[in-house]
Amino acid sequence: MANASKPKGVIGILTGGGDVPGLNPAIRAVTIRAIREGYQVIGLRRGWAGITEIVRDKKADNSAHYQVLTEAVVNRAGRTGGTFLHTSRTRPSHMAKEAVPNHLKDTYKEEINDLTPEVLKNLEFLGIDYLIPIGGDDTLSYGVRLYQEGMKVIAIPKTMDNDVPGTDYCIGFSTCVSRTIELTNSLRTSAGSHERLMVLEVFGRYAGFTAMLPTMAGAANRCVIPEHKFDIEQLTELMVYDRNKNPSKYAIVLVSEGSMFKGGEMIFADGAADAYGHKKLGGIGDLVSSELKARSGKYNNGKPVNIINQRLGYMVRGGNPDAIDSIVPMAYGNLALDLLLRGIHGRLVVLKNGRYDNMPLDVIANNKKLVDIPKHYNTERLRPHYKSFEMKPLFLMTSEME
Amino acid sequence: MNIGILTGGGDVPGLNPCIKAVVNRAIEDGHSILGIRRGWGGLLNYNPADENSAAKWLMPLDKQVVRTVDRTGGTFLHTSRTNPGKARAADTPEMLRDSDWTPDSPDITDFTPHILENLAHLKLDVLIAIGGDDTLSYAHRLHIEGFPIVAVPKTMDNDVFGTDYCIGFSTAVTRSVNFIRNLRTNVGSHERIGIIELFGRNSGETSLISAYLAGVDRAIISEVPFDPEKLGALLLEDKNSNPSNYALMTISEGATMIGGEIVQYGEADAYGHKKLGGIGAITGDMLKRVTGHKMMYQQVGYLMRSGAPDSIDLMVGFNFANMAMDLIQADQFGRMVALNDGKYTDVPANILSEGVKRVDVAELYDVNAYRPKVRHVKDKPMFLY
């Protein structure tokens, strides 16, 4: 038995950035396949934080930073949402002074420190030969860095925003769209009972996919997205028109958290940026709500229309993965192992034009994935285009590289 | 008899099943039944002189109309917060603004005589009003004016005085518990302190019962102002003792910090109530400062009352409907159907104004540990108070 003897190699796996449903199934797929192929898998905890904070001393207690994964552990976790390895936005190449682990504070005293030498030594300390980071473009950009340093890295894309360049699909997006549709539809009874305009702010960072796909699926009348600065007057007119045409007298707009008024900028929830330089978005839904209410009377015989304003927020990525986010992580995990067994590294496993494939890892660093406005968004009607579906992949908006 | 029915105030799951059961029973007992649209707004705006008015404000009901409505939440008759006893100028219909109309007092007019005229014009013998204490208090006003009414209590907050249970509360708790369960994956994955803000107006019951059932570490309720320093210390203990290194708390939208005020925004409605909300975000900022840990803040908000009714709200919706019809058959008016001490019953409608229903803090809440404390369950009703 391969398991009983010395493993053929040791694989480190970690999850970084925001949690999504589908991470645990991916960890499960990698672990089970690897063990069957004769490899050992070590789960690195809290994104890049665990591997950065390890104390290289055989007697030190590093149980908070990593755990050896077994079939029993991943089988139980594999059905659930979130990530049982936990996650963080830690970026080892840009560690603020106060984030440097205590035992390294004497060595790294700058305001911003690059702890990559420590990370590489820690990987060696744990005997890790291969690294499989699962994350969005921030998390994976540090995977690129380690690959450039000589580490054998194979990356798996995840984000509920579906905005990792090079792949049509990121783990978590489908569950997020499913939840958004489900929650939006269940709120119709409230919007209808009160005959209001309903404004639902959804996560999505700088990409509009999380608002576009549910709208296309019929969950909303209109959507506004970060890729197109919208005219609030135009939105008000369309929304009141939709409401008054609806026999139940309500209308719904999905507002992507990164959306901007024409002439405006992105709205941030608070001032602090994370290690990747990103601030937390949020608040545009509140502004859209008050503007809609204030302007609605003009299109409704002088009577203002009341608003139901709700942020779907974390609730679209809570809970267990749907079917797609159980199947794709299984496939991505096995694709990563396929590459590893063939001795190929520095790749990102992807879905490209509807098929499983892989791309060079640095595709993440050199591109941006956003909604292609001329192709997919109707700027007159503030909603997606509904045409030319022939030969398009499942989730319609692909990631063609320029 | 000609029976009218309306729903007022916030929508909840369970209204439609209740309307359906009233309609089916009324038809079977040989009555006719008329739906009045948009709460008291329907009776205020209905204009017999305008031939288009009936289609907009009235809906004749029969078995076919209500056949499928019990599968959905909300109210297919729609609703409003209009109070005809204290109508604001903006709510006053055109037809009532003739040349000699002036408000009774600045911006407020009592249109009860007009409501009684409309009820007479529609030849209604009795009116079933489904609503919270605002909607039902106006029903009681009509009872005092001599018009027969039967009141059916609903609110997701379960805060109507005189009944242990209001339609909509169970679904709101069921939804909250489910959302809290789902949010654990986010809060746990990031090892944060999760703050979940729940609707409930000035009653803490949704926060208390949801926290109790979902096993949340701490629950802040409207009835008990809290000390953020103390709360932060408790949550840190919870987080450190959790193998997954996270902690969760619920907070009522109407909660206050010691020495603080209720956080509300927007304009007041016709009953003088403003929207609450935002205390969770403020608490989050405060706790972040106190604990030095990151927070995850989510308002469950309207999602608590979204979607189809659960079994309890079907059960109580149907049963309240039948009780309302029993009262009408027996010519018993001015009553509110209720659940008291675990049994279906009815009480005088004026009971609404005789007290305020709030969480029994001494019996159900630990004011030092900021969490539910349920010890003596024997002889309590199903929802504990």
Residue that the structure tokens 């007019």 belong to: B109
CATH assignment of B170-306+360-372?
A: 3.40.50.460
Distance from the A91 Cα atom to the nearest Cα atom in chain B, whole angstroms: 15
Selection from B346, B326, B318 nearest residue B31 by Cα: B326
Of B190, B298, B306, the CB nearest to A313: B298
CATH of domain A10-171+320-366: 3.40.50.450
This model of the complex carries an ipTM of: 0.87
The pLDDT score that the predictor gives to residue B320 is: 98
Mean pLDDT of B124-143: 97
- Among B74, B183, B307, the residue with its CB nearest the CB of A315 is B183
Decide if B189 and A192 are in contact by the 8 Å CB cutoff. no
Average pLDDT, chain B: 92
Chain-chain contact of A311 with B184 (C-beta, under 8 angstroms): no
Work out the minimum CA distance from B323 to partner chain A, whole angstroms: 25
Asked which of A203-217, B255-269, B312-326 is least confident by mean pLDDT, the reply is B255-269
Say which of A18, A46, A310 has its CB closest to residue B303.
A310
Q: What is the pLDDT of residue A400?
A: 60
In chain A, whose CA is at the least distance from the CA of B307?
Answer: A186
**Beta-carbon separation of A314 and B186 below 8 A:** yes
Contacts of A87 in chain B (CB under 8 A): 189-190
Per-residue confidence (pLDDT) for residue B106, from 0 to 100: 74
pLDDT at A1 over 50: no
Q: Tens digits of per-residue pLDDT, A46-96?
A: 999 999 999 999 999 999 999 999 999 999 999 999 999 999 999 999 999
Task: For residues B14-36, give the mean pLDDT.
Answer: 98
Record: contact B13-A189, CB cut-off 8 A: yes
CATH 3.40.50.460 in chain B: give the residue spans: 170-306+360-372
B80 to chain A: closest CA residue = A194
Contact A315 B191 (CB under 8 A): no
Chain B residue numbers with beta carbons less than 8 Å from the beta carbon of A53 are none
| Residues of chain A neighbouring B188 (CB-CB closer than 8 A) | 82, 86
Q: Rounded mean pLDDT of B344-350?
A: 96
Structure confidence at residue A387 (pLDDT): 84
Q: Smallest Cα–Cα separation from B279: which of B161, B197, B212?
A: B197
Instruction: Give B155 to chain A, closest Cα distance, Å.
Output: 13
Q: What is the pLDDT of residue B274?
A: 67
- B68-104 confidence digits (pLDDT tens): 999 999 999 999 999 999 998 888 888 888 766 677 7
Interchain CB distance below 8 Å, A88 and B190:
yes
Interface probe with A: pick from B175, B302, B310, most Cβ of A within 10 Å? B302
Q: With CB atoms and an 8 Å threshold, state whether A19 touches B74.
A: no
List chain B residues with CB under 8 Å of A23. 189
Instruction: Say how many CB pairs under 8 Å bridge A and B.
Output: 101
Q: Which residues pair with A132 in a beta bridge?
A: A13
* Domain A10-171+320-366 matches domain A174-316+373-384 at the CATH topology level: yes
Within 8 A of B298 by CB-CB distance, chain A residues are 311, 313-315
Q: What is the pLDDT of residue A144?
A: 97
Cross-chain residue pair B245–A19, CB shorter than 8 Å? no
pTM of the full structure = 0.91
Partner B contacted by A306 (CB < 8 A): no
Residues of B in contact with A310 (CB under 8 A): 299, 301-303
| Interface touch B78/A313, C-beta < 8 Å | no
Average pLDDT over residues B331-342: 95
Q: Which residue of A has its CA nearest to B15?
A: A193
3-state secondary structure of B94: helix
What distance in Å separates residue B111's CA from the closest CA in chain A?
20
Structural contact between residues A126 and A11, judged by C-beta atoms closer than 8 angstroms: no
What average pLDDT does range B352-370 have in this prediction? 90
Q: Please tell me which residue of chain A has the smallest CA distance to B304.
A: A187
Nearest CA to CA, how far is A374 from chain B (Å)? 34
A1-15, A103-117, A188-202: segment of lowest average pLDDT? A1-15
Query: Is A318 at the interface with chain B, CB within 8 A?
Result: yes
Cα angle: B371, vertex B376, B378; to 5 degrees: 140
Worst-scoring range by mean pLDDT, B97-106, B206-215, B238-247? B97-106
Q: Please indicate whether, in this complex, the C-beta atoms of B185 and A190 are within 8 angstroms of each other.
A: no
Element (H, E) at B332: none
- Chain A positions in Cβ-Cβ contact with residue B80 (cut-off 8 Å): 194
Q: What is the pLDDT of residue B268?
A: 67
From the CA of B88, how many Å to the nearest CA of chain A?
Answer: 14
Q: How far is A14 from A88, CA to CA, in rounded Å? A: 10
Least confident range of A353-357, B177-181, B245-249, B274-278? B274-278
Of B78, B188, B300, the CB nearest to A193: B78
Closest partner CB to B179 (pick from A194, A308, A315):
A315
Q: What is the mean pLDDT of residues B8-12?
A: 95
Residue contact A189–B11, C-beta within 8 A: yes
C-alpha Rg value of chain B to the nearest Å: 22
Within a 13 Å sphere around the CA of B2, how many CA atoms are in the beta-carbon half?
12
Determine the residue among B81, B171, B186 to mutate to test chain A binding: the one whose Cβ has the most chain A Cβ atoms within 10 Å: B186
pLDDT value, residue A3: 47
Whether A63 contacts chain B with CB within 8 A: no
**Percent of chain A beyond pLDDT 70?**
97
**What CATH architecture does domain A174-316+373-384 belong to?**
3-Layer(aba) Sandwich (3.40)
Domain(s) of CATH 3.40.50.450: residues in chain B: 2-167+309-354
Q: Does A321 touch chain B (CB under 8 A)?
A: no
Mean pLDDT for the stretch of residues A357-368: 92
Do B78 and A87 count as a contact with CB atoms less than 8 A apart? no
Domain boundaries, chain A: 10-171+320-366, 174-316+373-384
CA closest to B194 among chain A residues: A314
User: How many whole angstroms separate alpha carbon B149 and alpha carbon A43?
Assistant: 66
**B2-167+309-354: CATH topology:** Rossmann fold (3.40.50)
How many angstroms separate the CA of residue B122 from the nearest CA in chain A?
A: 24
Residue A299 has pLDDT above 90, yes or no: yes
pLDDT of residue B267: 63
Tell me the per-residue pLDDT of A150-166, one tens digit each, with 9 for 90 and over.
999 999 999 999 999 99
Q: Is A280 on the interface with B (CB under 8 A)?
A: no
Look at residue B103 in the predicted model and tell me its pLDDT. 73
Q: Which residues of A are catalytic?
A: 161
pLDDT at residue B278 above 70? yes
Q: Which residues of B touch A315 (CB under 8 A)?
A: 179, 182-183, 298, 300, 303
